[in-house]
């Protein structure tokens, strides 16, 4: 595979049905699914900010502890989205029992499920600030498949593990790109780029529109995919060589087989 699949998502809710569910009704068996909380930490067309991701550690920890203290939910995954924010997925502790029970009868009312999600999201939202609780009530929500590349950042959707601290986040985010932080290519800025700190902990910028500079491949791709810059190298052969090598790294390391299998639970939507 020479070209990466971009924006790969997995569905949150699960259905056992021969036809896609429509509206708020299922044609088969509705089997529930994780509850998702989402927080966007940067604006669109703004470079990745390591400091903002590190600052979100306290927010993540507060949400996780609040959910676990309630005893109703079990943490399933904390995921760096690959660009602007954090996704936290939690599983209802009664979900498995409920799924078994529902598989024996047809058509649980999705309206009841939405109502339950709304009540939970609102109550959590009162205590934990910064989370978009409206996302949690959307049963058709999708989540990025862990280790897939975000199509506008050249960074991976990276599962974040405990401890949820700023230092831990900084260390883990170093693996968010499969591309080289050492080898450099020349790029030219298509618009002004503010000062930003990348996953390698280095600070870059600010750059004016039209400014030409030489940056690590991982940083260059990040700016290019955000349409903030363009490569100065000419010709497909030269530009394609470093990209293909970096893309191959994604499959050679980073995500082990167990991580990949566990991340693809449920249906996949592309």
Annotated domain spans of the chain: 9-152+157-164, 179-248
**215, 223 in Cβ contact below 8 A?**
yes
Q: Tell me the fold of 9-152+157-164.
A: DNA primase, PRIM domain (3.90.920)
pTM of the model: 0.77
**174, 168 in Cβ contact below 8 A?**
no
Band of residue 44 on the pLDDT scale cut at 50, 70, 90: confident
Q: H-helix or E-strand containing 144?
A: strand 142-144
pLDDT at 58: 94
CA–CA dist 173, 134 (Å, integer): 27
Q: Tell me the fold of 179-248.
A: Ribosomal Protein L9; domain 1 (3.40.5)
**212, 187 in Cβ contact below 8 A?**
yes
Q: pLDDT (tens digit, 9 = 90+) per residue, 125-180?
A: 778 888 887 788 777 778 888 888 898 899 999 999 999 999 999 999 999 998 88
DSSP string, 216-247: EHHHHHHHHHTTSEEE---SHHHHHHHHHHHH
pLDDT at 155: 94
pLDDT at 68: 83
Q: Which residues of 99-136 are buried (b: 16+ CB within 10 A; e: fewer)?
A: beebeeeeebebeebeeebeebbeebbeebebbebebb
Strand partners, 92: 73
């Amino acid at each position: 595979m020479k070209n990466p699949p971009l924006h790969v998502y997995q569905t949150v809710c699960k259905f056992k049905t021969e036809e896609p569910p429509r509206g708020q009704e299922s044609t088969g068996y509705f089997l529930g699914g994780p509850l998702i909380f989402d927080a966007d930490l940067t604006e669109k067309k703004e470079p990745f900010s390591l400091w903002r991701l590190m600052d979100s550690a306290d927010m993540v920890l507060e949400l996780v502890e609040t959910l676990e203290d309630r005893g109703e939910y079990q943490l399933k995954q904390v995921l760096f989205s690959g660009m602007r924010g954090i996704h936290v997925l939690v599983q209802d502790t009664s979900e498995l029992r409920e799924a078994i029970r529902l598989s024996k009868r047809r058509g649980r009312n999705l309206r009841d499920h939405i109502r339950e999600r709304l009540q939970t999201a609102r109550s959590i939202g009162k205590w934990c600030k910064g989370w978009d609780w409206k996302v949690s009530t959307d049963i058709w929500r999708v989540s990025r498949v862990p280790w897939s590349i975000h199509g506008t950042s050249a960074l991976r959707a990276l599962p974040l593990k405990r401890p949820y601290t700023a230092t831990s986040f900084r260390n883990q985010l170093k693996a968010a790109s499969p591309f080289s932080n050492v080898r450099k290519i020349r790029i030219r800025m298509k618009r002004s780029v503010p000062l930003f700190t990348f996953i390698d902990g280095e600070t870059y910028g600010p750059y004016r529109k039209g400014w030409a500079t030489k940056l690590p491949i991982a940083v260059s791709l990040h700016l290019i995919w955000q349409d903030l810059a363009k490569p100065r190298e000419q010709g497909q052969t030269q530009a394609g060589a470093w990209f293909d090598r970096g893309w191959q790294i994604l499959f050679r390391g980073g995500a082990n087989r167990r991580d990949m299998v566990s991340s693809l639970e449920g249906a996949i939507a592309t």
